[in-house]
Each structure stands twice: as C-alpha cells, then as structure tokens.
Amino acid sequence: MIIEQLHETRDISDVDLKLLIETGQFDRELFRHADKVRKEYYETDVYIRGLIEFTNYCRNDCFYCGIRRNNHNLERYRLSQNEILSCCEIGYGLGYRTFVLQGGEDPFYTDELMNEIISEIREKYTDCAITLSIGEKSYESYEAFFKAGANRYLLRHETANPEHYAKLHPAGMSLENRKNSLRNLKKIGYQVGSGFMVGSPFQTTDCLIEDLRFLQELEPAMIGIGPFISHHETPFNRFKSGSLQLTLRMIGILRLMFPYALIPATTALGTADPQGREMGLRAGANVVMPNLSPVEVRKKYELYDNKICTGDEAAECRDCLSRRVSSAGYKIVTDVGNVRLLKEQHPQTKTVPETFNTR
Ligand code: SAH
C-alpha cells in the first residue's frame, strides 16, 4: 500500500515515511517499483560522469571529511590547468561527455583562474557538460563560472536539519548559507545537484525526512547520497559508518519521489560494500561517476577511509565500471546525460522548464 501510494502520487505522509525508513519490510517491493520507474524514464541507460578531483586543499573544517583543514597528516596537492585539461582529453577518449571538477574550497583557484580553466574546457569540448563541485561561493562567482561555460553544480546540503548541520560543521558554517548557495545556483540557471550522507553522526529518521522535504522544495536535477564512512584523522573517527541497506532504501525512495532525477551509485556506496554500486543501480540509481584524476593524487583525495578505485588508471576504472553496470543488468551510454522528463505524466511538476535548463 505505502509503496504503491508513493509510486503513484510521488509522496506519502511523514508517518508512512518513518515506517518505510525504519523497517526493512518494504524493501523488496520498494526496489521493484523503483526499478520500474527508472526504466520508464531512463530504460537501462546509465550515465557516466568523469570525476576530476583537482585539489585537496580546503579552507573548511567539516567534522566528517578527511580533507578538512585541520587534518595535518595529509599531503596536499593541486592540479595545474594543463593537468586538468589532460584529464578531460583522456576522459573524452573514453566516452565521457560530462566532466566534474571537484575539490576542497581552495582559494588558490581564484575566480579568474577558474574562469580560465572552465573557458578552455568549454572551447575544446563543446558537446560536453561541465560540472563544478567546489563548495560555497558568492552569487557573483557562481554567475561568472556559468558565463565561462559551466552548466551544472553539485553541492550537497548534507543535512536539512539546522541543529544537525551544526553538529557536523564548525561554527561559521550554516545550513542557511548552504541553502542560499543552492538557491543562487538555480536562479543563475545551473542544473543543480544536492544530497546528503546517510548515517552521519547524530542523524535521526526525522533528519532524513527533512532531507526529503527539502529536496521536494528544491527540485534538484541530481541527488547524490552515500553512506557516511568515518575517516581516522577526523573528530568523527570513532563513529560507526552509515548502513548500506539504509542507503539503498533511501535511493529507492528518492527514485519514487523524484522519478526524473539523476541519482548516482556513489563511490562511498562502493566502499561500503564491494557490490554496493551494483546494488545502488538496482535500487533506482542511474549514474556512476568514475574517477579521472591522475593516479598519483587519487589516494590523497581521501574523504573517508578505504575509498575505492585509488589505484586504477582512468581506462581501467572505465572498463571495471562497464562490467559492473552490465552485470547489474544496465548499460553505460556515451551521452551528455541530461534529465529526461515524461511531461505528460507529471504536469504538476511546477518548475520543470527552469529547473532543468539544459543549455
Ligand atoms: N568541497 C565540495 C566537495 C565536497 S566532497 C563541497 O563542499 O561541496 C563531496 C562530498 O563528499 C561531500 O558533499 C560529502 O557529502 C561527502 N563526504 C565527505 N566526507 C565524507 C565521509 N566521511 N563519508 C561519506 N561521504 C563524505
């Protein structure tokens, strides 16, 4: 009943969500419905995004994150403009049509430098999407990057509960700032991705419900979630990691609530279990984000302990992912990978044309 209602109306009450999130009794039915919906929208296609982790310097000090400023036991690195460009070149040859530039909040990359990097990628790869994931910036900076040619932005809200947010971040960071950044990005015209960690310290079921409610308000094109995994050099080193099963359940719920969404089977999911990403795809995910960073720096972008794929060349990652995706019953496609909508089925989605601006 609950699952059918969620499938049909894309929503259920908080009370039903709580029951769904807290018990495993609906999982089989949930995943079956989620897979049906993902196939209606995306068939068996899986989009790939080439992830370029270009700096592990960060001015922030998020309590969960391995590249936080106060981790002094980490060798820091930055990729030059040429190194970033050569990652794109390798990636393009391997079939990537989206490049994701992710990093800590690193002031070394001034707006001018970012604009240069973005413009050069934009000029060389006119048929590709450029995604940024470099944290909170001013409206003006976001706007400049957009003008330079970036068209997507990933910024997880991490948790939609302000008190919980304060427990995961140092004073000076706030949920309100994070939300404002997300609103600014949308206003400028980016396709926005948000998301949260599952099982982060002090998270409750109510926090997860708030996450879903916030996403309903934001209507992002992409929703990235993964289990929290503790990192030995952070204040959260003694907390246990988030549950694989709960993460899968949340993916299934997201697929039914946001049928059109781009939902990655994340590296954190693959770290939690060797088959985690395959299970994620079967629970409703439709994107994978293999690593395109040079092998020499991979290990240094350790957001959490035992992060997978730190030893493989880009081509090996690409092949390995292809095999994994087909073993789960899906297929990787060479495509810029925009949101697909079945408008006639969802006339009530209020902000569709603006939200999914696909320039
Ligand atoms: N500086 C950028 C990129 C952050 S890293 C930004 O602020 O958006 C990308 C994501 O990794 C984060 O948004 C967070 O959700 C996730 N992450 C960080 N530490 C983690 C951990 N210990 N376990 C699981 N995920 C983590």
pLDDT at 326: 98
Rounded to the nearest whole angstrom, what is the distance from the C-alpha of residue 158 to the centroid of ligand 1?
A: 8
Ligand 1 centroid distance, CA of 8 (Å): 33
Cα-to-centroid distance, 343 and ligand 1 (Å): 33
Q: How does residue 311 score in pLDDT terms, banded at 50, 70 and 90? A: very high
Measure 88 CA to ligand 1 centroid, in angstroms.
22
102 lines ligand 1 (CB under 6 A): yes
Q: Phi then psi for 61, rounded to 5 degrees?
A: -135, 40
Best residue for ligand 1 mutational test, from 223, 303, 308 (most atoms within 8 Å of Cβ): 303
Ligand 1 pocket mutation pick from 109, 152, 156 by most atoms within 8 angstroms of CB:
156
Sorted by sequence, the CB contacts under 8 Å of residue 288 that are 6+ apart come out as 46, 47, 48, 49, 264, 265, 277, 281, 321, 325, 332
> How far does residue 91's CA lie from ligand 1's centre (Å)?
23
> Is 242 near ligand 1, meaning CB less than 6 Å away?
no
| Tens digit of each residue's pLDDT (9 = 90 or more) over 151-206 | 999 999 999 999 999 999 999 999 999 999 999 999 999 999 999 999 999 999 99
Q: How far is the CA of 79 from the centre of ligand 1 (A)?
A: 19
Gap between the Cα atoms of 182 and 180, Å rounded:
5
CATH 3.40.50.970, domain 2-334, yes or no:
no
Ligand 1 touching residue 229 (CB < 6 A): yes
**Ligand 1 atom nearest to CA at 64:** 22
Cα–Cα distance, 212 to 227 (Å, whole number):
16
d(CA 48, CA 85): 18
Residue 329 has pLDDT above 70, yes or no: yes
| Gyration radius (Cα) of the chain, Å | 19
pLDDT, mean of residues 228-250: 98
Instruction: Report CA(264)–ligand 1 centroid distance (Å).
Output: 14
Structure tokens, 168: 């995961």
- For the Cβ of 231 lying below 6 angstroms from any atom of ligand 1, the answer is yes
Average the pLDDT over 262-277 and give the result. Answer: 98
Of 202, 304, 308, the one to substitute when testing ligand 1's pocket (max ligand atoms within 8 A of C-beta) is: 304
Residue 226 in contact with ligand 1 by CB distance below 6 A: yes
Question: How does pLDDT run across 60-116, given as a tens digit for each residue?
Answer: 999 999 999 999 999 999 999 999 999 999 999 999 999 999 999 999 999 999 999
Does the CB atom of residue 303 touch ligand 1 within 6 A? Answer: yes
Alpha helix (H) ranges present in 10-161?
14-22, 27-42, 81-93, 111-124, 139-148
CA of 324 to the centre of ligand 1 (A): 24
pLDDT for 349 beyond 90: no
Residue 93 corresponds to which amino acid?
A: G
Q: Where are the domains of the chain?
A: 2-334
- Choose which residue among 49, 65, 196 to substitute to test ligand 1 binding: the one with the highest number of ligand atoms within 8 A of its C-beta: 65
Residue 314 has pLDDT above 80, yes or no: yes
Per-residue pLDDT at 342:
82
Q: How far apart are CA 226 and CA 156, in angstroms?
A: 11
Which ligand 1 atom is nearest residue 154's CA?
A: 8
DSSP code of 304?
A: S
What pLDDT, on a 0 to 100 scale, did the predictor assign at position 146? 98
